[in-house]
Amino acid sequence: MVRGRISRLSVRDVRFPTSLGGHGADAMHTDPDYSAAYVVIETDAEDGIKGCGITFTLGKGTEVVVCAVNALAHHVLNKDLKDIVGDFRGFYRQLTSDGQLRWIGPEKGVVHLATAAVLNAVWDLWAKQEGKPVWKLLVDMDPRMLVSCIDFRYITDVLTEEDALEKQMLAQGYPAYTTSCAWLGYSDDTLKQLCAQALKDGWTRFKVKVGADLQDDMRRCQIIRDMIGPEKTLMMDANQRWDVPEAVEWMSKLAKFKPLWIEEPTSPDDILGHATISKALVPLGIGIATGEQCHNRVIFKQLLQAKALQFLQIDSCRLGSVNENLSVLLMAKKFEIPVCPHAGGVGLCELVQHLIIFDYISVSASLENRVCEYVDHLHEHFKYPVMIQRASYMPPKDPGYSTEMKEESVKKHQYPDGEVWKKLLPAQEN
């Protein structure tokens, strides 16, 4: 039973100095410090249960997301949780359609990242109170209640509430792929060492970062293909580095390494550009994957309508939490496009596993061409870290959205006053 009135919302800027090890680097984001705006909401209920939510950032700018969370706080404070989840669509819309704040969105950028962090905390709180992991809360939910969480505004031309009520169920662990071996910040030796270890650990699908330098890409892709052999799956990720013709030309040269997909070949806003690239590369056996920087459900709708992608990558912290992701999962089902979520960062694996397990059980009922990203960084800072077995995500059992961070990790990494940053900042200033 949901209970309590939201009595407190706090938000902290938590940063991990991942750039020091080259972790997370790609052709456009060369020195990311994986970070999060970390939201905790409390209620006046006697159970003392807190809801924790994050959104993922790359270091600088997290303070801006923190400001945006604070600007949204008045929509959450003093609300009964029962009223929020009883009209979740209305609450979602209240956050995303604030008559003043929407000017600096709408439903995109910093204000949408902040919305995701707040709503992720609400979902965590709700699931903890129900004593279920979020995926199970969703699976068990009456379909009418489920669709009542979705804001169908702007997508009724492809998906209506009636369409959404026709989906079905099943259950299992979820196949994963690894990105951890081949960040652009890694030397060839590190790449080889991590790839050998990943093979030993049973990984069969690997993603490599490309796009900064063609000769470099050819060499690194050759190393990986030689190591994993012809049968295992290779994906490539350019992180928006190219113009449209450049993407086609570059990938035509990398086609010999047989990538399943090229991810984010160009600007995430260029729907027709993605369609052009897709038209050119699909005949070479290369699909287009995108979504980790897709603003909202409307852009996903248009990518689907334009046949601009073959693999759809939802992100648990960029869209408006579970609510908006539900609408995208249902649209992907309708267009028969497999969902292969973006994960990694700080906590993205922890969150998105709930969405993809729900997708499999309740929406797609298929594993064909479906795989969820896994990145082996920063899980030790979470109270309920992901569990990977035989290169698959095992369904989380703890109540909530797996969003809660260990308090000592938050304290240590809080920016700029945490122990880690107090040591690092004077060194970086010199």
Ligand X SMILES: C[C@H](O)[C@@H](O)CC(=O)C(=O)O
Instruction: Give the catalytic positions in this structure.
Output: 209, 342
Question: What is the binding site for Mg ion (CB under 5 A)?
Answer: 237, 263
Q: Which two tokens stand for residue 171?
A: 């259950």
Closer of 123 and 374 to ligand X (Cβ) = 374
Give the ranges where 131-213 is alpha helix by DSSP (H): 134-140, 143-147, 161-164, 188-200
Closer of 32 and 418 to ligand X (Cβ) = 32
Q: Which does 414 bind (CB under 5 to 8 A by kind): Mg ion, ligand X, none?
A: none
Cβ pair 226, 256 in contact under 8 A? no
**Footprint of ligand X on residues 286-315 (CB under 6 A)?**
292
User: Do you find a cis peptide bond into 416, omega within 30 degrees of 0?
Assistant: yes
Instruction: Name the one range near ligand X by CB under 6 A: 24-32, 87-95, 325-333, 380-388.
Output: 24-32
DSSP 370-421: --EEE--SSGGGBSS---EETTEEPPP-SSB-S-PBPHHHHHHHBTTTSHHH
Could you tell me the smallest distance in angstroms from the CB atom of residue 264 to Mg ion?
Answer: 6
Cβ pair 34, 349 in contact under 8 A? no
Residues in the chain: 430
* Per-residue interface string for the shown chain with ligand X, residues 353-392, x marking contact by CB under 6 A: --------------------x-x-----------------
Closer of 155 and 260 to Mg ion (Cβ) = 260
**Cα four-point dihedral sign 149, 332, 294, 378:** positive
Closest-CB residue for Mg ion?
Answer: 237
Using CB under 6 A as the binding rule, whether residue 26 contacts ligand X is answered as yes
Cβ pair 305, 332 in contact under 8 A? no
Instruction: State which of residues 120, 179, 296, 362 lies at the interface with ligand X (CB under 6 A).
Output: 179
Using CB under 6 A as the binding rule, whether residue 29 contacts ligand X is answered as yes
Instruction: Name the one range near ligand X by CB under 6 A: 25-33, 41-49, 67-75, 190-198.
Output: 25-33
Using CB under 6 A as the binding rule, whether residue 237 contacts ligand X is answered as yes
CA contacts within 13 A on the Cβ side of 406: 12
* Per-residue interface string for the shown chain with ligand X, residues 46-85, x marking contact by CB under 6 A: ------------x---------------------------
Cβ pair 178, 195 in contact under 8 A? no
Closer of 29 and 412 to ligand X (Cβ) = 29
Using CB under 6 A as the binding rule, whether residue 342 contacts ligand X is answered as yes
The size of the interface with ligand X (CB under 6 A), counted in residues, is: 13
CA contacts within 13 A on the Cβ side of 1: 4
Could you tell me the smallest distance in angstroms from the CB atom of residue 211 to ligand X?
Answer: 10
- Parallel, antiparallel, or unpaired: how do β-strands 6-15 and 35-43 relate? antiparallel
Q: Which of 230, 233, 208 is nearest to 221 (CA)?
A: 208
Closer of 139 and 260 to Mg ion (Cβ) = 260
Q: Which does 153 bind (CB under 5 to 8 A by kind): Mg ion, ligand X, none?
A: none
Q: Which of 237, 224, 9 is nearest to 114 (CA)?
A: 9
The contact set with ligand X (CB under 6 A) reads 24, 26, 29, 32, 58, 179, 237, 239, 292, 342, 344, 373, 375
